């Protein structure tokens, strides 16, 4: 290795170190600036998906919102309003699109299948068996409860994902 | 990128939601909106009403006083009202509450409106919903139904009953949230409509279609063309052993003159080769030929308790929900119990404190075809009494779901509508004249009067207002009177008139008015101590008027009379046994002759085994026997070989089939008769002996196929027994799979008193003893009070019915009676 080359390397190294120091100083300044706004900082961290706990909290809140608003909407309005509820909740409780889909899906899957199962139990499964017979016996009365959950879950999950994506489009 | 993803999700969400909220059409089969259907907030899950649900009290606008309904443990409502209109209001409400889909669907079917529910799709062999709708319109049913409504309206008393009933039905429909629509509405994605007098009239039309449409004019004309002088030998109108409804020897009185008016009957003029071509849809849409029923009343002289006992079981197509809804209606001047037709007021078959009545179908032919002399290629002008007449046109709008409105123009002649109007079958363009389109249907007042009747005179008076479908009304009174009257309007006909297609260019071929109601066949308190009917001939030929049908029953009536004439000290238990009797007179008359003529030397050991089983058989169609299967199949093959003159032809469906009774009579009389000779074999002359051997072998070859079918339907109990072979089922009224009952095991068949066939049979069984204190009644029907497939009351009685068990009817006197079986009450409170 020639001296000239050694010198050049040394220079680059020093130069890098100086750059690093500059960066640290810059970031420190930034943190100092932002440190006054703790809530905003937390929000930023949440949005970036920093802690698992926070993410779960968002999903849980979203799920609950979908369940409660969804039930209310379906008592007052036609069933498809669950899509509007899903999109709205997905916008305000945004996670990654796939996670939003998942919590939307699970939430309405549970609402529809539990409510269907509850009504079916009170009726000793008579109506479920009738529908099962109508479908040629290919789906059992119990399986119909899961099919029901699947339909509600799919619509809501897709809607929640769409809401989340709308948010990321608008926040760009 | 983010935008693209967002747009994709948005499209997916909206697309899926739209798809799930819209009915789809997959290969002609409409698929309901799955989201609405599966949603537990509005879909089918809600129809599985909790089994502990109680009926809620109602604030009712339109009643004059409060009405109380008490339900017993079988969900039979006992209505207590201050007046008849209020009672019928509540009856309308309860019918709609329990049977809305049934009422709605039946009237749409009768009014040619199936397509608006089902869309354009095949519903029977080769027939689409639109085909069937068109035929209903072309039969002139809607103008006929409108005419009935006008007649109801013209009579203030009837109109008050009609309006009260409609208001009650509509009170229920109005408060019905779409989330609580009956299951079928959700599945088909349609809405209930207001119940109107026209709906009621169309429902009555449906009953008339089922019970008074039977005719064989084209088939008889063709048979006459085919057989020429042998026609009367093969198709006699009477036979001596007949035992008509009104016993031989009854004095009918003298008919007013003018009965022998001349009539030119087309069949007399056509040559043996001129057969009438006719669309097969005509055959396909004929009512079930075995629509029939039994009724009988044994007088005090024949019963153990010296009270008359009345028994009835009307046979109809078996459907879920049942055509009947059990009910008690009590007002200060009426207290009646029985079955009602959802969609129409009053009790149709039943009893009150003083009398009991029950119907069977009369079945006389009141539908005639007239061949027209068309004067132009469009068939809008025709010849009539030497003058030119123009048809009247009526445009029918048929709404087809998913398609829109299809228009159909129907031509009306002086006789009635031209049902089949086409260029390809020139002689099928005939005019159709049907009594039910001429006269008021379902005489609502008749039934209300019967419901109130206290004695024979009031019963006979009530029947004067009854027109169509004509019924044999059996009657019993607490005072010991028993009677049987034919209720109905009957056309006066020249001899032979209406049996064949008639010439429509001559007014002389019209009916000669109607038989006076006082001349309708009837009898009261006969010496033999009982009255009975089972759809056989109404009278012997001494009756002063001509009437006809190719479909009078030849066996059940004779069995009933045979049994009753031998019985004494009759009890309710004996009557239960008799209603469930599976004895076949036909087998008793035919089998010994058949076995006698069978050349057993030509049979294998297996076959001899069957012969031995048949010869030991007691002619009872019991559920667990195999002999009835062998006999049925053997006779079927034998019949087909005897009548190869008809059955080997491609137009066989348009030729009248000889009756079973006549076929057996010919066999008994002359085993070498020329009709036993097979037309296909010109070199050999067959006799009955030859046909019995070949048909026996055909039957043996059929048994493995039957066994395979049984093993498929009854994998756990695949025995070759009658119940498995018959395989009784009760399909849903709109033929929706899974909503009916199938593979119901029981005995009986069409020619036994217990006439349960595959999907036809006793639609209601009732036995009433008119005791001096309170009528005792035992009843059952194949269904349940609820029309909701999601209710345990939907098919509650089916198993009891199938086993021949009964329920004792709770005939209440007061609304506050305390009985352990009275479970719930519901109040209808008047609103000012």
Determine contact, residues B328/B78, Cβ cutoff 8 Å. yes
Contacts of B174 (CB under 8 A, 6+ apart): none
First and final C-alpha spacing in chain A:
50
Q: What is the pLDDT of residue A36?
A: 43
Is pLDDT at B1 greater than 90 in this prediction? no
Question: What gap in Å lies between CA B236 and CA B548, rounded to an integer?
Answer: 11
Question: What gap in Å lies between CA B230 and CA B236, rounded to an integer?
Answer: 10
Q: What is the pLDDT of residue B43?
A: 94
For B322-380, what is each residue's pLDDT tens digit? 999 999 999 999 999 999 999 999 999 999 999 999 999 999 999 999 999 999 999 99
A96 contact residues in B (CB cutoff 8 A): none
Q: What angle do CA B458, B460, B463 make, to 5 degrees?
A: 105
Return the closest-CA partner of residue A122 out of B73, B180, B53: B53
- Tell me the torsion sign for CA atoms B686, B687, B691, B696: negative
Q: What angle do CA B90, B96, B99 make, to 5 degrees?
A: 125
Tell me the Cα Rg of chain B: 28
Q: Which of B48, B321, B715, B740 to mutate to test the interface with A (most CBs of A within 10 A)?
A: B48
For A17-73, what is each residue's pLDDT tens digit? 656 655 555 554 454 444 445 556 556 655 555 567 777 888 888 899 999 999 999
Determine contact, residues A93/A62, Cβ cutoff 8 Å. yes
The full 3-state SS of B362-398, as one line of letters, equals CCCCCEEEEECCECCCCCCEEEECCEEEECEEEEEEE
Contacts of B608 (CB under 8 A, 6+ apart): B600
Contacts of B379 (CB under 8 A, 6+ apart): B372, B391, B411, B418, B421, B429
Q: What is the pLDDT of residue A121?
A: 93
Mean pLDDT of B262-279: 59
Return the closest-CA partner of residue B808 out of B777, B787, B766, B785: B777
Least confidently predicted of A8-12, A95-99, B741-745:
A8-12
Would you tell me the crossing angle of helices B444-452 and B156-174 to the nearest 10 degrees? 100
A112 contact residues in B (CB cutoff 8 A): 38-40
Q: What is the pLDDT of residue B271?
A: 44
Is pLDDT at B260 greater than 80 in this prediction? no
Question: What gap in Å lies between CA B191 and CA B7, rounded to an integer?
Answer: 36
Count of positions (residues) in chain B: 832
**Residue B506: C-alpha distances to residues B225, B271, B428, B548, B735 (Å):** 21, 20, 18, 21, 44
A136, B47: Cβ pair inside 8 Å?
A: no
A124 vs B20, B43, B51: nearest CB:
B51
Mean pLDDT of B307-332: 97
A120 vs B48, B183, B738: nearest CB:
B48
Question: What gap in Å lies between CA B800 and CA B299, rounded to an integer?
Answer: 28
What is chain B's mean pLDDT, rounded?
Answer: 92
Question: What gap in Å lies between CA B728 and CA B724, rounded to an integer?
Answer: 8
Question: What gap in Å lies between CA A166 and CA B10, rounded to an integer?
Answer: 9
Helix (H) or strand (E) holding B313: strand B309-317
Is pLDDT at B452 greater than 90 in this prediction? yes
Q: What is the pLDDT of residue A34?
A: 47
Question: What gap in Å lies between CA B467 and CA B449, rounded to an integer?
Answer: 15
Q: What is the phi-psi region of residue A157: left when phi exceeds 0, alpha when psi lies from -120 to 50, beta otherwise?
A: alpha
Give the minimum alpha-carbon distance from B660 to chain A in angstroms, rounded to a whole number. 38
Question: What gap in Å lies between CA B497 and CA B507, rounded to an integer?
Answer: 13
Give the minimum alpha-carbon distance from A37 to chain B in angstroms, rounded to a whole number. 29
pLDDT band at B818 (very low <50, low <70, confident <90, very high): confident
B51, A123: Cβ pair inside 8 Å?
A: yes
Determine contact, residues B245/B674, Cβ cutoff 8 Å. no
Contacts of B518 (CB under 8 A, 6+ apart): none
Relative to beta strand B29-31, strand B404-412 is: unpaired
- Furthest-apart CA atoms within chain A: distance in Å: 93
ipTM of the assembly? Answer: 0.86
For B569-601, what is each residue's pLDDT tens digit? 999 999 999 999 999 999 999 999 999 999 999
A154, B738: Cβ pair inside 8 Å?
A: no
B16, A112: Cβ pair inside 8 Å?
A: no
DSSP 8-state secondary structure symbol assigned to residue B249: T
- Tell me the torsion sign for CA atoms B541, B545, B546, B548: negative
Q: Is A11 within 8 Å of chain B by CB?
A: no
Would you tell me the crossing angle of helices B141-154 and B197-211 to the nearest 10 degrees? 120
Contacts of B814 (CB under 8 A, 6+ apart): B80
- Tell me the torsion sign for CA atoms B776, B781, B786, B790: positive
DSSP 8-state secondary structure symbol assigned to residue B212: S
Chain A residue with the nearest C-alpha to that of B10: A162
Cβ atoms within 10 A of the Cβ of B702, count? 16
pLDDT band at B286 (very low <50, low <70, confident <90, very high): confident
Question: What gap in Å lies between CA B663 and CA B670, rounded to an integer?
Answer: 11
Q: What is the pLDDT of residue B24?
A: 78
B738 contact residues in A (CB cutoff 8 A): 130-137
Locate all alpha helices (DSSP H) within B155-279, ordered by sequence: 156-174, 183-188, 197-211, 217-227, 231-234
Q: Is A108 within 8 Å of chain B by CB?
A: no
Mean pLDDT of B723-736: 95
Mean pLDDT of B724-746: 94
Question: What gap in Å lies between CA A84 and CA A72, rounded to an integer?
Answer: 12
716-755 in B: which are within 8 Å (CB) of A?
736-739
Q: What is the DSSP string of A24-53?
A: HHHHHHHHHHHTT-HHHHHHHHHHTT--HH
pTM of the model: 0.91
Question: What gap in Å lies between CA B788 and CA B99, rounded to an integer?
Answer: 8
**Residue B538: C-alpha distances to residues B246, B364, B549 (Å):** 6, 8, 10
Would you tell me the crossing angle of helices B129-138 and B141-154 to the nearest 10 degrees? 50
What are the boundaries of each domain within chain A?
A: 55-170
21-80 in B: which are within 8 Å (CB) of A?
21, 34-36, 38-52
Is pLDDT at A16 greater than 90 in this prediction? no
- Tell me the torsion sign for CA atoms B682, B685, B688, B690: negative
Q: What percent of chain B has pLDDT over 90?
A: 79
- Tell me the torsion sign for CA atoms B252, B257, B260, B263: negative
Return the closest-CA partner of residue B164 out of B325, B351, B346: B346
Count of positions (residues) in chain A: 172
SS3 assignment, position B189: coil
Question: What gap in Å lies between CA B446 and CA B468, rounded to an integer?
Answer: 12
B48, A154: Cβ pair inside 8 Å?
A: no
First and final C-alpha spacing in chain B:
66
Chain B residue with the nearest C-alpha to that of A80: B17
151-210 in B: which are within 8 Å (CB) of A?
183, 187
Determine contact, residues B189/B30, Cβ cutoff 8 Å. yes
Cβ atoms within 10 A of the Cβ of B648, count? 13
Q: What is the DSSP string of B459-509?
A: HHHHHTT--SS-EEEEEEETTS-EEEEEES--B---TTTTTS-EETT-GGG
A79, B36: Cβ pair inside 8 Å?
A: yes
Spacing of C-alpha B116 from chain mean position? 24
Determine contact, residues B86/B168, Cβ cutoff 8 Å. no
pLDDT band at A7 (very low <50, low <70, confident <90, very high): low
Is pLDDT at B263 greater than 70 in this prediction? no
Determine contact, residues B373/B103, Cβ cutoff 8 Å. no
Question: What gap in Å lies between CA B245 and CA B248, rounded to an integer?
Answer: 9
No. of H helices and E strands in chain B? 25, 31
The strand pairing partners of B26, in sequence order, are B29
Give the minimum alpha-carbon distance from B585 to chain A in angstroms, rounded to a whole number. 39
Is pLDDT at B245 greater than 50 in this prediction? yes
Determine contact, residues B103/B199, Cβ cutoff 8 Å. yes
């Amino acid at each position: 290795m020639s001296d000239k080359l050694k010198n050049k390397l040394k220079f680059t190294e020093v130069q890098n170190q100086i750059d690093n120091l500059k960066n640290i100083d810059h970031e420190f300044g930034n943190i100092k600036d932002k440190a006054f706004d703790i809530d905003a900082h937390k929000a930023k961290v949440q949005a970036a998906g920093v802690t698992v706990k926070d993410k779960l909290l968002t999903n849980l809140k979203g799920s609950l919102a979908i369940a409660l608003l969804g039930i209310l909407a379906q008592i007052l309005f036609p069933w498809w309003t669950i899509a509007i509820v899903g999109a709205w909740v997905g916008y305000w409780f945004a996670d990654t699109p796939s996670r939003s889909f998942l919590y939307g899906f699970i939430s309405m899957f549970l609402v529809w299948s539990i409510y269907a199962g509850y009504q079916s139990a009170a009726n000793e499964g008579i109506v479920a068996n009738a529908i099962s017979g109508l479908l040629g016996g290919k789906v059992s009365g119990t399986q119909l409860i899961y099919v029901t959950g699947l339909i509600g879950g799919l619509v809501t999950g897709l809607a929640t994902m769409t809401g989340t994506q709308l948010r990321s489009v608008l926040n760009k | 990128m983010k935008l693209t993803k967002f747009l994709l999700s948005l499209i997916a969400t909206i697309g899926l939601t739209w798809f799930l909220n819209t009915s789809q059409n997959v290969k002609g089969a409409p698929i309901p909106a799955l989201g609405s259907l599966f949603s537990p907030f509005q879909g089918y899950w809600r129809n599985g009403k909790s089994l502990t649900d109680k009926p809620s009290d109602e604030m009712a606008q339109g009643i004059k006083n409060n009405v109380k309904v008490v339900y017993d443990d079988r969900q039979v409502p006992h209505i207590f009202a201050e007046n008849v209109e209020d009672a019928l209001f509540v009856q309308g409400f309860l019918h709609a509450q329990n049977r809305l889909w049934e009422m709605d669907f039946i009237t749409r079917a009768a009014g040619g409106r199936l397509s608006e529910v089902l869309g354009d799709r095949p519903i029977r062999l080769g027939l689409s919903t639109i085909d069937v709708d068109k035929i209903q319109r072309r039969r002139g049913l809607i103008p006929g139904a409108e005419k009935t409504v006008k007649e109801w309206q013209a009579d203030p008393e009837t109109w008050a009953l009609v309006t009260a009933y409609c208001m009650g039905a509509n009170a229920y429909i109005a408060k019905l949230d779409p989330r609580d629509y009956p299951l079928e509405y959700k599945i088909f994605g349609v809405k209930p409509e207001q119940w109107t007098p026209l709906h009621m009239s169309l429902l009555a039309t449906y009953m008339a279609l089922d019970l008074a449409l039977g005719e064989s004019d084209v088939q008889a004309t063709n048979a006459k063309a085919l057989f020429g002088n042998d026609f009367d030998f093969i198709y006699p109108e009477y036979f001596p052993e007949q035992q008509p409804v009104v016993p031989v020897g009854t004095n009918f009185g003298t008919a007013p003159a003018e009965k022998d008016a001349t009539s030119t009957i087309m069949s007399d003029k056509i040559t043996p080769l001129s057969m009438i071509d006719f669309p097969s849809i005509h055959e396909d849409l004929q009512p079930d030929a075995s629509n029939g029923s039994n009724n009988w009343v044994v007088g005090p002289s024949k019963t153990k308790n010296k009270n008359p006992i009345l028994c009835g079981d009307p046979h109809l197509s078996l459907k879920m929900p049942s055509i009947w809804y059990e009910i008690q209606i009590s007002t200060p001047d009426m207290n009646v119990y029985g079955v009602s037709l959802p969609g129409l007021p009053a009790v149709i078959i039943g009893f009150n404190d003083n009398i009991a009545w029950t119907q069977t179908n009369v079945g006389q032919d009141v539908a005639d075809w007239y061949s027209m002399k068309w004067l132009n290629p469009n068939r809008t002008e025709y010849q009539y009494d030497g003058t030119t007449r123009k048809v009247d046109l009526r445009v029918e709008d048929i709404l087809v779901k998913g398609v829109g409105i299809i228009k159909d123009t129907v031509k009306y002649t002086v006789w009635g509508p031209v049902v089949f109007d086409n260029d390809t079958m020139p002689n099928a363009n005939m005019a159709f004249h049907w009594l039910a389109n001429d006269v008021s249907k379902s005489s609502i007042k008749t039934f209300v009067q019967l419901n109130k009747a206290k004695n024979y005179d009031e019963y006979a008076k009530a029947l004067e207002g009854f027109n169509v479908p004509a019924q044999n009304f059996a009657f019993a009174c607490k005072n010991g009177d028993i009677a049987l009257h034919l209720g109905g309007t009957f056309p006066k006909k020249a001899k032979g008139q209406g049996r064949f297609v008639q010439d429509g260019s001559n007014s002389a071929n019209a009916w000669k008015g109607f038989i006076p109601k006082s001349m309708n066949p009837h009898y009261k308190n006969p010496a033999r101590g009982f009255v009975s009917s089972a759809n056989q001939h109404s009278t012997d030929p001494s009756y002063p008027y001509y009437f006809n049908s190719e479909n009078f029953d030849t066996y059940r009536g004779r069995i009933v009379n045979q049994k009753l004439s031998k019985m004494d000290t009759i009890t309710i238990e004996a009557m239960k046994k008799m209603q469930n009797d599976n004895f076949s007179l036909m087998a008793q008359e035919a089998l010994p002759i058949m076995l006698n003529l069978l050349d057993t030397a030509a049979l294998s050991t297996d076959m001899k085994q069957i012969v031995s089983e048949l010869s030991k058989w007691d002619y009872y169609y019991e559920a667990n026997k195999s002999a009835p299967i062998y006999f049925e199949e053997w006779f079927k093959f034998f019949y087909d070989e005897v009548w190869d003159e008809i059955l080997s032809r491609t137009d066989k469906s348009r030729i009248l089939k000889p009756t079973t009774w006549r076929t057996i009579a010919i066999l008994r009389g002359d085993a070498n008769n020329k009709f036993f000779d097979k037309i296909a074999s010109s070199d050999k002359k067959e006799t009955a002996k030859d046909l019995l051997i070949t048909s026996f072998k055909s039957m043996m070859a059929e048994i493995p196929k039957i066994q395979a079918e049984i093993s498929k339907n009854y994998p756990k109990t695949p025995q070759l027994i009658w119940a498995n072979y018959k395989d009784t089922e009760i399909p849903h009224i709109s033929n929706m799979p899974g909503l009916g009952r199938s593979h119901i095991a029981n005995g009986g068949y069409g020619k036994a008193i217990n006439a349960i066939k595959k999907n036809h049979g006793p639609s209601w069984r009732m036995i009433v003893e008119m005791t001096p204190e309170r009528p005792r009644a035992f009843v059952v029907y194949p269904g349940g009070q609820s029309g909701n497939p999601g209710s345990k009351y939907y098919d509650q009685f089916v198993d009891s019915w199938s086993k021949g068990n009964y329920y004792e009817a709770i005939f209440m006197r007061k609304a506050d009676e305390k009985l352990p079986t009275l479970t719930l009450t519901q109040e209808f409170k008047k609103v000012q």
